[in-house]
Amino acid sequence: MLSDKTAIVTGASRGLGRAIARALAGQHCRVALVARDRTGLEAVAGGIDGVEARAFPADLSKPEEVDRVLSDIAAWAPVDILVNNAGLGYYRPFLEHTPEEHERIVDVNVRAPIRLCQGVLPGMLERGAGHIVNIASDLSFTPLANMAVYAASKFALRGLSLSLMKEFKDRGVRVSLINPGMIDTAFNDGEEGRLGARSALQPDELARVVVDVLTQPGFQMVDEVTLHAVHQDY
C-alpha cells in the first residue's frame, strides 16, 4: 500500500525517526529524511536499499529552514505522507528552564509541525489523498514533574492533530496521532538501548505501529493510539 509513495520523516537521523524511515523504506516507500545532523541523515540514507532515500538537513526550530526544506522536497517528489517525529525536551525543574529553551521546545515541537502540515496539505488535497502522522507523547494527557514545557508542547500537538482530523477527514487526507510512552532512545537517557524492552518502547516496534497506521484499509483509519511498555515507571 505504500509502494511508490513519498514520505517525509523528521528527526530521521537517529532513534525513532531512523527506525520509522527504515520501516517505510521496507514497504517500498521513498523517504525524505529531515534533521539537523547531515552526517547522521546520510548514514541512514546510505543504509537503505531498494528504494530512494535522500537527506534534507534542516534546523526545524527556524521557520526559514522549514520553508526551504519543504521547497527542496517538493522539487524532488510530491509528498504523500508526513511523519512529524522530531521532538525536543529537557527533564529539568520548571524554574531552571531558560526562556530560550522554552522557545526552542515550542519551535521544534509545535511551530514546525504546524508549518510542515501547512506546507504539504495543499498538494495532498489537490490529489485527494495523503496521510499525516504526528508523534506526540503520553505526556500530552499524563502529567509528569520536571517536563512541564515539553508536556505543554505535546498537549498542543495533540490538539492540532485532533482538529486537523476533523477538518480534513472528508477530503481524502487522514491525520493520525501516536502517543508513545518512554522510548529506548538517546532522547530519554543519553544513550540508545539502555532502558530495555520491559521499561521502554523499542524504536523498531513503534515504527511498525506507524506502518500499521499508514496501511489501514481505505474504509477505516486510526485517529489516535497510545502505547507504552508494561513496566514504564511513570
Which residues are designated catalytic? 150
Query: For cell 509545535, what's the residue?
Result: 110
Q: Are 27 and 215 in contact (CB under 8 A)?
A: yes
- Cα separation, 71 vs 74, in Å, equals 5
Residue 191 burial (10 A CB sphere; 0-12, 13-18, 19+): exposed
- Our CA angle for 5, 218, 204, nearest 5°, is 55
Nearest to 210 by CA among 159, 173, 185, 176: 176
What are the phi and psi torsion angles at 115 (to 5°)? -65, -40
Give every strand in the sheet of 224-227, ordered side by side: 53-57, 30-35, 6-10, 81-84, 130-135, 173-180, 224-227
Q: Using alpha carbons, list the distances in angstroms from residue 109 to 56, 187, 193, 194, 201.
A: 19, 14, 24, 25, 20
- Cα separation, 22 vs 26, in Å, equals 6
Nearest to 6 by CA among 70, 56, 63, 81: 81
